[in-house]
DNA sequence: TCTGGGGTCCTAGGACCC
DNA sequence: TCTGGGGTCCTAGGACCC
């Protein structure tokens, strides 16, 4: 079996460049939500030494604004571009596994013919660029972990015009691994890097030579798998069928700390509503909901508090009303007066398809009615292009603090709770 | 002063059962 | 009442990813 990994180069920056060609050749960075830190950099920005995850205030300090173009993220655009890239890949290759917004694994059709695989992959790179404007690199190898390393090689080698790297030759793999820092291996993070370095293990080759059983007992089965993958063994057979999403989360860091329950509740309510909408968009329902709240790590002058509460949803649901109700219950059980809150989030788990789940016999909620109501709300909101229909508690919370902005595009609201408007 | 948001998987340990 | 091994299930927390 041969795996390919298609990886979009500097994806968010590349998306911005498609729609604004004047950004070509310039140092460009894209910032996270709330403009907190850098999440994508052009090659020119990397050359300036701006690190990934760099806090925004630092680049504002040391760069000339004419030198670096700083852009707030537009995730709707990136998702759309991602769909286009993935559909081109899917037209050519089987068993595509979309790993992230800018990466996908797939199977190569010729297990023993590197030349044909390379030609096919190179054709896809050209096709993606032609149809979407996004530059992509492809790595090919016998495991996903090695394919990752190969795609990284393709990206970093300026003489490789095809942007495809096939890494199947044993002596070439050995050579590459001996020059690869352990920290650059997929699955080896900061903790493991430190821990292994203290044992004298610094390169991918040194790591791959360790006894697998020792690595397993020292760390975990996941780390052992990474080791075997570096040896060319495929240890993560994931079928695309089983790749259904397992949770949906919405969370934000607040612009400042909140003390009042109403402020935190306002945010939690919005996150629950976003989860519900997301579930409905995916035709899923959830059985559990978790709310978490957290203080500010960086404020040593404030007492730190962090807690979460998981509640079972009486009958699996994607109804905004049900989820908001559960979220408020959960929040009530963990909110403590007197602490400063800097972040909150809502997560829904135990997801299942909307069709085919058995409503609980003891459910207090008429799921069918809710479902119809929610579809109507979504339809109105989709047509209006903004959230004109919301739950009454949301409206009142916002009316008190209209400046709050967790989601884009909230305009005036129609009061609307459990009964549809007459006429 | 200032560091995102959304995910997955694994393990240890407690509760409970036979 | 005490004692023991072995098993399952659940949850919190850690580590990793982009």
Q: Which residues touch strand C (CB under 7 A)?
A: A 99-103, 148, 185-193, 308, 310
d(CA A28, CA A46): 9
Q: In chain A, what are the domain boundaries?
A: 1-113+122-141, 247-384
Q: Which nucleotide is nearest to A222 (CA to C1')?
A: B10
Q: How far apart are CA A142 and CA A149, in angstroms?
A: 11
Q: Can you tell me the mean pLDDT for A13-40?
A: 93
Rounded average pLDDT over A171-194: 96
A240-298 pLDDT, tens digit per residue, is: 555 678 999 999 999 889 999 999 999 999 999 999 999 999 999 999 999 999 988 77
Q: Which residue has the tokens 């960086």?
A: A298
Round to a whole number and report the distance in Å from the CA of A82 to the C1' of B8: 20
* A410: pLDDT strictly greater than 50: no
| Protein residues bordering strand B (Cβ below 7 A) | A 32-34, 36-37, 39, 53, 55, 57, 216, 220-222, 245-253, 278, 298-299, 343, 345, 347
* A50 CA → B13 C1’, Å: 43
Q: What percent of chain A has pLDDT over 90?
A: 66
pTM, rounded to two decimals: 0.84
Q: Which residue has the tokens 């950004």?
A: A23
Confidence of residue A301 (pLDDT cuts 50, 70, 90): confident
Residue nearest to nucleotide B7 (CA to C1'): A247
pLDDT of residue A405: 37
Encode pLDDT of A91-129 as tens digits: 999 889 999 999 999 999 998 999 999 999 999 999 999
- Taking a C-beta distance cutoff of 8 angstroms, is the pair A324, A377 a contact? no
Q: 């403590």: which residue's tokens? A: A336
Fold of A247-384: Dna Ligase; domain 1 (3.30.1490)
Position A395 pLDDT exceeds 90: no
- pLDDT band of residue A172 (cuts 50, 70, 90) is very high
Give chain B positions with protein CB within 7 A.
Answer: 1-11
Task: Flag whether pLDDT at A372 surpasses 80.
Answer: no
Amino acid A421 CA to nucleotide C3 C1' distance, rounded Å: 68
Through-space separation of residue A222 CA and nucleotide C14 C1' in angstroms: 13
In angstroms, the CA of A104 and the C1' of B5 are apart by 20
* The CATH fold of domain A1-113+122-141: MutS, DNA mismatch repair protein, domain I (3.40.1170)
Length of chain A: 423
Instruction: Assess whether pLDDT exceeds 50 at residue A45.
Output: yes
Q: What is the pLDDT of residue A365?
A: 58
Does A1-113+122-141 match A247-384 in CATH topology? no
Q: Which residue is nearest to nucleotide C17 (CA to C1')?
A: A187
């Amino acid at each position: 079996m041969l795996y390919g990994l298609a990886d979009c180069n500097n994806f968010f920056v590349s998306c911005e460049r498609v729609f604004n060609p004047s950004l070509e050749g310039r140092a460009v960075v894209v910032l996270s939500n709330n403009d907190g830190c850098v999440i994508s950099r052009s090659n020119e920005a990397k050359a300036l030494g701006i690190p990934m995850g760099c806090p925004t205030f630092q680049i504002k300090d040391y760069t000339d604004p004419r030198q670096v173009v700083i852009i707030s993220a537009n995730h709707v655009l990136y998702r759309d571009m991602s769909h286009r890239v993935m559909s081109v890949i899917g037209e050519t290759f089987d068993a595509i596994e979309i790993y992230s917004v800018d990466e996908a694994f797939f199977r190569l059709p010729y297990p023993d013919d590197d030349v044909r695989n390379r030609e096919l992959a190179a054709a896809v790179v050209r096709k993606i660029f032609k149809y979407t404007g996004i530059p992509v690199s492809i790595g090919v190898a016998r495991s996903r972990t090695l394919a990752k390393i190969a795609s990284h090689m393709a990206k970093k080698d300026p003489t490789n015009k095809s942007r495809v790297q096939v890494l199947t030759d044993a002596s070439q793999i050995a050579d590459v691994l001996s020059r690869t820092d352990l920290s650059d291996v997929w699955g080896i993070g900061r903790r493991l890097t430190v821990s292994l370095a203290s044992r004298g293990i610094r390169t991918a080759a040194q790591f791959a030579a360790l006894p697998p059983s020792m690595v397993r007992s020292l760390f975990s089965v996941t780390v052992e798998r990474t080791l075997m993958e570096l040896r060319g063994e495929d240890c993560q057979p994931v079928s695309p069928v089983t790749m259904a999403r397992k949770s949906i989360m919405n969370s934000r860091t607040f612009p400042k700390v909140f003390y009042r329950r109403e402020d935190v509740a306002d945010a939690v309510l919005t996150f629950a509503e976003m989860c519900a909408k997301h579930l409905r968009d995916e035709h899923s329902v959830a059985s559990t909901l978790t709310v978490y709240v957290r203080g500010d790590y960086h404020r040593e002058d404030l007492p730190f508090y962090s807690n979460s509460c998981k509640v079972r949803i009486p009958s699996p649901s994607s109804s905004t009303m049900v989820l908001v109700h559960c979220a408020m219950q959960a929040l009530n059980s963990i909110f403590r007066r007197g602490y400063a809150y800097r972040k909150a989030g809502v997560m829904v788990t135990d997801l299942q398809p909307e069709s085919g789940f058995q409503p609980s016999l003891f459910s207090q909620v008429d799921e069918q009615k809710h479902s119809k109501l929610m579809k109507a709300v979504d339809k109105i909101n989709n047509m209006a292009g903004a959230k004109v229909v919301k739950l009454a508690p949301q409206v009142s919370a916002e009316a008190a603090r209209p400046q709050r902005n967790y989601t884009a595009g909230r305009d005036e609201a129609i009061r609307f709770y459990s009964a549809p408007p007459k006429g």
